[in-house]
Structure 1
Amino acid sequence: MDTAKSMPTPMISALKLTSDGAEHFQDPKLYREIVGSLQYLTISRPDIAFSVNKVSQYMHSPTIEHWKAVKRRYIVGTVSVGIKFQKCTNLRLLAFADADWAGDLEDRKSVTGYCVYLGSNLVSWRSNKQAKVSRSSTEAEYRSMAASQSELVSIQYLLKELRIPQSIAPTIYCDNQSACSLAANPVLHTRCKHMKIDLHCLREMVN
């Protein structure tokens, strides 16, 4: 693997992994060991968080297709890649939230993804499957925003304990206009009653 040609991305963009339709991998222990190492690597490599999250879901019974996804030669060419922290005077908190709506072909659950910046420095990130099935892309995106909001609050408390003032309110960026409108709209529509806990929590922060 050390001499292999590296790949430009952690995972093929159109790849849809499932637990059926492929031959089972003969050495599940090896699969678990490598995926476990990749999980450890995500502590400092947010660029592989999504792909590692995907292959981690099949550790109980990996197939050849899962093994090919794990063996993709992306890490080989990005050994020197890492998070760079630099001094900055603007310590404003910014979060970018997104969701892969119904991306899992087996249970149709969405994936929450967000990253949080303190000034120009990336300090927190997450990529994991949502607990419930979202009935719309708006719901999936909103749950992602709610998760990033929870992380922002935790970081705010930490900064307060460290006596680092926050003069500007944190900002969450989301590319779903309906989810953004839902955060500011004080009316609970009948179509979103099943997600009203996240609604109340995020709307309180907006206010």
Structure 2
Amino acid sequence: MSCLFCFSGDKLGPEERKGKYGDLWGQYADNDATFKVKLCGAPCAEPACWMGSMICSPCAQYKLRHMALNHLEPGSGWSNYKCCQGMFGGCCCIQPGNMGEDSCPQCCMCLEGCCCPGMAVSASQGMIMQRYSLGLDSDDVRIIRCNNCLQILACVASCLNICIDCEGDDAIVGCINLIADIVFCCVSGCMTARVYHEINEREKEAPKGNRMER
């Protein structure tokens, strides 16, 4: 984790707030309140959830979204579910709210968790951040920047590998992709564990009548 300190912990700049992901995180960047546990501390706070989300991410995202939906609207089940909760907009024929969520929300959530794990956990986290006006701390910003840098590096390396034929290039690109995948898996697990922890802590603080029905 020491490599994270190579990245700035300053608030997201204007350029980093562009695009669908930038729009999502940018709206919370200036909020002062933060999660009860830092992203780096999530594995210690919820070790079972962290490990479980890395072993089977789709199952973890399914459970987390159900928790988030019913934390915000107790007893609502899956009635308020939309693909990624509509936080990233749509693309061509993929339009949140018009993909069969009303008739089969659980099936749609399974597909979301399998096909878009990063967006799935980001959407669940965004729901909690939006409700409680939570912001990003310095660790969040560093990890987001580190993860984005590695994903871009892996993409560029893969493209160059197609265009340039060098001895050992497949092994190098394979290592870069492996590192990027491991970091993504760990960050996704941390986000899942932190949202899980936040919901549980908020539930403990809430009056009995407002607690989520499990």
TM-score by length of 2: 0.25
Structure with more contact order per residue of length (Cα contacts < 8 Å, sep ≥ 6): 2
Relative to its length, the structure with more helix (as a share) is 2
Per the normalisation by structure 1, the TM-score is: 0.25
